[in-house]
Structure 1
Amino acid sequence: MPGAAGERTDLSWQRTGLGVLAVAGLIGFRAVAADRPALVVAAGLAALIGLGILGGLAPLRYRRLRDHRAAGAGVSCPALIRAVTAGVVLTALAAAVAVLIPG
């Protein structure tokens, strides 16, 4: 199956975006439950990051992977990987703040 690796990569990027969105939802729930309006901003930013990964970076990565593979070129894309990593780290920091700082 020559296209299976690309499909698995695409699905993993989608799962990453969905995971960030899920964490954003949990941060939002914590914000409402603890009556902490500042966390609503953090939840909103995390949701935007998740939507950016899911709707922007994941499809871009899939198209680049498909095009590079068709051209016989390497499929590495460090800039996109750094962007997604930064988004996940920022979301994790927001979640840590939501959990560790008492409300």
Structure 2
Amino acid sequence: MAEKKEIVPPKYDLDAKWDACLDLTVRRFVYSSLAGAFGGLLLFRTPVTRWASVAFGAGVGIGSAYTDCSRLFDGSPAKVTAPKSTETAAPGSTETPGPKITETSAVQEAGTEN
């Protein structure tokens, strides 16, 4: 008897996504740690600062891998958005809502000294 194997579309194949994420994370962690170690050897003299550059490189690698993996799983990392303004213009006015930019007295004085 032949077994029926269901083929899962790549969009829904979690095993492949996890494999890709783990591979990406390990590679970026190792490569950026090595780059941090190399940079630390070239730029810093004390062991503490050299280790700090290795740790910084590892953090950059893990962070970039996290961002790409979250996109792979159809999510997105938390985004910081500006608060929306609730200020509106009066009906019939041609003014746009938002902060008004006015000249300060120093700018006005500088313009009248000519």
TM-score range (shorter-chain normalised) is 0.3 to 0.5
Q: TM-score, normalised by structure 1?
A: 0.40
Higher relative contact order (CA 8 A, sep 6+): 1
- Structure with the larger helix share: 1
Bigger-Rg structure (1/2):
2
